[in-house]
Amino acid sequence: MADDHEGKRILVIQTHGIETPTRTYSPVFYAMAAAAMEIEVMLWFTMNGTNQLRKGEAEKIQLDPTSNVNLKTMLNMAMDSDVQLRVCQQSLELWDMKPEDLIDGVEILGATSIIDLALNYDHVMYF
């Protein structure tokens, strides 16, 4: 079945952040699932999704109190699975964040990049 996905790329857009913790996990989970299927995945954070990338914030989001997995764990697992994490430059400004405020492994791209990405990826998932 992996051959059916060869060369495919998925762009996952995350617009929800720490103020809605139940909406932060799914995009990361689906990105990891696609990566496990050997699909190239980029997880693009914009608007409120940006705030979960601020150092120290993702550690505060834990959906299951009986688990030791928090949102930071999920983001690390995604990066370990070769999911590319990208954030919108203009969204950083919205949250008064600087590049040094971001967790390690996140690349900053300008807002117009999302248009090119959406046009060039095979599928776009939006959360």
**What tens digit of pLDDT does each residue of 59-109 get?**
999 989 899 999 999 999 999 999 999 999 999 999 999 999 999 999 999
Residue whose C-alpha is closest to residue 53's, from 90, 103, 125, 111: 103
Strand order in the sheet with 9-14: 106-109, 84-88, 40-45, 9-14, 123-126
Q: Are 107 and 85 spatial neighbours (Cβ–Cβ below 8 Å)? A: yes
Average pLDDT of the chain to the nearest whole number: 94
For the domain that residue 25 is a member of, what is the CATH number?
Answer: 3.40.1260.10
Task: Fill in the DSSP letter of residue 43.
Answer: E
Q: What was the pLDDT predicted at 38?
A: 94
Nearest to 53 by CA among 81, 27, 82, 34: 27
Give the chain's domain count. Answer: 1
Q: What residues make up the domain containing 59?
A: 2-126
Model pTM score: 0.93
Q: Is the pLDDT of residue 1 over 60?
A: no
Confidence (pLDDT) at 119: 94
Instruction: State how far the Cα of 125 lies from the Cα of 11, in Å rounded to an integer.
Output: 6
How many whole angstroms separate alpha carbon 38 and alpha carbon 6? 7
